[in-house]
Amino acid sequence: MKEIGLQPSSTGEPGGKETGQTVSHYIIPGGRYAKAYAKLKAKGFQLHWQSANVGEKRRRGEWG
């Protein structure tokens, strides 16, 4: 993760542990991910995050 510009963190913030049962991440300022996204954003690209409703997808037979 660190190689591509994402820092593992147990809290999702600077200072969190890099390992553990539950680990999130944050974007390293000036890292490869941040630079790549900045190029995409400059061209109008946007990320739209939306959580999937797992229960509904299962009822429709889309998941598992």
Question: If pLDDT is split at 50, 70 and 90, which confidence band does 57 have?
Answer: low
Q: 9-37, pLDDT tens digit by residue? A: 999 999 999 999 999 999 999 999 999 99
Report yes or no on 24 lying in a domain: yes
Q: How many folded domains does the chain comprise?
A: 1
Report yes or no on 64 lying in a domain: no
d(CA 15, CA 4): 19
Question: If pLDDT is split at 50, 70 and 90, which confidence band does 50 have?
Answer: confident
| pTM across the whole model | 0.67
d(CA 38, CA 17): 27
Report yes or no on 22 lying in a domain: yes
What is the residue range of 47's domain? Answer: 2-59
